Structure 1
Amino acid sequence: MQCHEFILSEDYNKMTLVKSYQAHQSRVIMILFVLEMEWVLSTGQDKHFTWHCSESGQRLGGYRTSAGACGLQFDVETRHVFVGDHSGQVTILKLEQESCSLVTTFKGHTGGVTALCWDPIQRVLFSGSSDHSIIMWDIGGRKGTAIELQGHNDKVQSLSYAHHTRQLISCGADGGIVVWNMDVERQETPEWLDSDSCQKCDQPFFWNFKQMWDSKKIGLRQHHCRKCGKAVCGKCSSKRSSIPLMGFEFEVRVCDSCHESITDEERAPTATFHDSKHNIVHVHFDATRGWLLTSGTDKVIKLWDMTPVVS
């Protein structure tokens, strides 16, 4: 499939084709024009990322991703490109004038990556997914920190970042517009621990036949506390709580001891929730004026003044 570049002629009634780029063998999914480098970046359903010289139209290089790519961001200073794909993986490539090299890959989503947003100041990458979650990746800190944000009931469709206020705006297919305060000290969610029995009361889980036989007890279903990550039974994790600093703005399962330790201050929300009244498909955020443009499956375009909440 070809990508075309047009300009308007002097009579303003016709467009003139400037360049044509033979970019992909199937549908082009995302394109990005890097004015500073005179590059055109693109991803396609053929699982390829490519980039061209916008002046000559020459293909400078490409890279095959693990699945169809659906997210694309570029950092001009480091010449790093971030590509998210349908497998949930994010790939970082280093682009040179006529070559590219793989920097790293990482994966934290259980669904495909549907949106990427890069903050060049804090050097943080945000990824949204069809698994309803957002992950904040600390790229610049080189600590491998990944902060999870849970605030949507359907796939995340778009991410925008307001640098001057350090607020993240996420829009979802559930119609939700969430404004996250990223100027707080957030915590990583713990890894879920493996165990054959409840790590609180030592009751066996249903696959632990030996302990069930020895103790003459029926095995229980395994759950996990979202705060400590321990494997627990339903009786020892009967409570629910929001944990905003861990990204859980909605109430989630926690063990009884963690529920008692969470204070009211720790339950204070770090995001505001707004209903767009339509299932959002496409979004554009103008940080200069604080305006958000959304379009939905209802064929309606809505313009929102976000200055009361993004400030």
Structure 2
Amino acid sequence: NDKVQSLSYAHHTRQLISCGADGGIVVWNMDVERQETPEWLDSDSCQKCDQPFFWNFKQMWDSKKIGLRQHHCRKCGKAVCGKCSSKRSSIPLMGFEFEVRVCDSCHESITDEERAPTATFHDSKHNIVHVHFDATRGWLLTSGTDKVIKLWDMTPVVS
């Protein structure tokens, strides 16, 4: 869930392999039909509770309230405050395999089926900087910041 360092694509299975600085190896199923993420909406106040954001001096003065930080719901795109977006959820069909901020009403609407992962996650136990996938053998070669080269049999995962 850290910064992606290297990518490799398995053409024969239509899977993308990403490796991160945290040692994570993620195998993405590219056949899954994903939804486009919404555009983030602009607003001077929370689109759920109408509390002003910190740059909205007029509304802060009129309501005698301190402004809040603006966040965006990754599911609906609305501009919301922290109180109205206190939940996090994965939304794999939108490309969010890891939990992201969502507004409370969207969190309630996301089903367990919608949270089902479309990728598999593996721990390499070293910080990967480069990866190469040999599709003919099903081998994944990783090299890390620890100067260790590892060879993985990926046939159980990429097939």
2:52 aligns to what? 204
Tell me how far 1:265 sits from its aligned partner.
0.3
Tell me how far 1:217 sits from its aligned partner.
2.2
Q: What are the Cα deviations for residues 74-105 of structure 1, in whole angstroms up to 9, with x where unaligned? A: xxxxxxxxxxxxxxxxxxxxxxxxxxxxxxxx
Q: SS state of the match for residue 105, structure 2? A: helix
Between the two structures, name the one with larger relative contact order (CA 8 Å, sep ≥ 6). Answer: 2
- Distance in 1, matches of 2:143 and 2:61, equals 59
When the two structures are superposed, what TM-score results if normalisation uses the length of structure 1?
0.50
2:84 aligns to what? 236
Tell me how far 1:170 sits from its aligned partner.
0.8
Per residue, is there more helix in 1 or in 2? 2
Tell me how far 1:260 sits from its aligned partner.
1.1
2:134 counterpart of 1:307: no
Q: SS state of the match for residue 289, structure 1? A: coil
In the alignment, structure 1 segments of 5+ residues that lack a partner are: 1-152
Bigger radius of gyration among the two = 1
Q: 1:227 aligns with which of 75, 78, 86?
A: 75
> How big is the alpha-carbon RMSD for the aligned residues of Structure 1 and Structure 2?
1.2
Tell me how far 1:197 sits from its aligned partner.
0.3
When the two structures are superposed, what TM-score results if normalisation uses the length of structure 2?
0.94
- Distance in 2, matches of 1:300 and 1:239, equals 39
Q: 2:133 aligns with which of 269, 285, 307?
A: 285
Q: SS state of the match for residue 8, structure 2? A: strand
- Distance in 2, matches of 1:154 and 1:257, equals 28
Q: SS state of the match for residue 266, structure 1? A: helix
Tell me how far 1:261 sits from its aligned partner.
1.1
- Distance in 2, matches of 1:182 and 1:283, equals 18
- Distance in 1, matches of 2:62 and 2:47, equals 18
Tell me how far 1:253 sits from its aligned partner.
0.9
- Distance in 2, matches of 1:218 and 1:158, equals 43
- Distance in 2, matches of 1:220 and 1:173, equals 33
- Distance in 1, matches of 2:62 and 2:145, equals 57
Per residue, is there more strand in 1 or in 2? 1
Q: What are the Cα deviations for residues 23-42 of structure 1, in whole angstroms up to 9, with x where unaligned? A: xxxxxxxxxxxxxxxxxxxx
- Distance in 1, matches of 2:130 and 2:97, equals 24
Tell me how far 1:191 sits from its aligned partner.
2.1
Is residue 10–residue 133 contact of structure 2 (8 Å, CA) maintained in 1?
no
Tell me how far 1:289 sits from its aligned partner.
1.2
Q: SS state of the match for residue 194, structure 1? A: coil
Q: SS state of the match for residue 174, structure 1? A: coil
